[in-house]
Amino acid sequence: MTKSMRVLLVQDSTGHSTGYHVISRGLRDAGMETVLGGAQIPRAIARLAVDEAADAIGYRIMDASPTILVERLMEELERVGLRGIPVVVGGIVPEEDLPRLTALGVAGIFQPGATLDSIATFFRDLAQRTARQA
C-alpha cells in the first residue's frame, strides 16, 4: 500500500483562515493527510515540518511579504535538514513576486480563485513525483 502524502499547512496570520481550512479538507478528501500548524513564523514552520514528518508544506500568505517569508523559510528548512521539501504557496501574491518565489524553489503558487480540484491535483502529482525520486 502506498503511503499518503503528509502535508503541513501553515499560515502567516490568524485572519482569513476559511480557505486554509477548506484546502485542508480538500486535500484530505483527495487522500492526503494534513496537519494544521496554524499561524507560524518560518523557524517554527521548519521545526514543525521535522516534528510532523511532513512530505510537503502548504503556506498560506495573506498579510506579509511572500518573498521575505519564503526566503526565511527556505533558510530555516535548510538549517534543519529539509532542503528540497516541496513548499507550495497560496494566498495573495503580487505578480512581481512570482519569479522570485520560483527562484527560491517554491514548487507551486496558487492565487485567490484557484479551484480546490486544481490544488488537490497539484499535490497528488507532487506526491507521485516525490515517490518516484525516493
Give me the pLDDT at residue 10, please. 98
CA distance 39 to 60: 9
Residues in the chain predicted with pLDDT less than 70, given as ranges, are 1-2, 131-134
Nearest to 26 by CA among 112, 121, 128, 126: 121
Q: Given CA atoms 86, 40, 31, 122 in this order, what sign does their dihedral have?
A: negative
Query: What whole-number distance in Å separates Cα of residue 66 and Cα of residue 12?
Result: 9
pTM: 0.94
pLDDT of residue 1: 38
pLDDT at 104: 97
C-alpha–C-alpha distance, residues 71 and 49, integer Å: 16
Residues 73 and 122: their CA atoms lie apart, in Å, by: 21
C-alpha distances in angstroms, 35 versus 5, 95, 102?
Answer: 11, 29, 24
pLDDT averaged over every residue in the chain: 93
Q: Which domains does the chain have, with CATH numbers?
A: 6-128 (3.40.50.280)
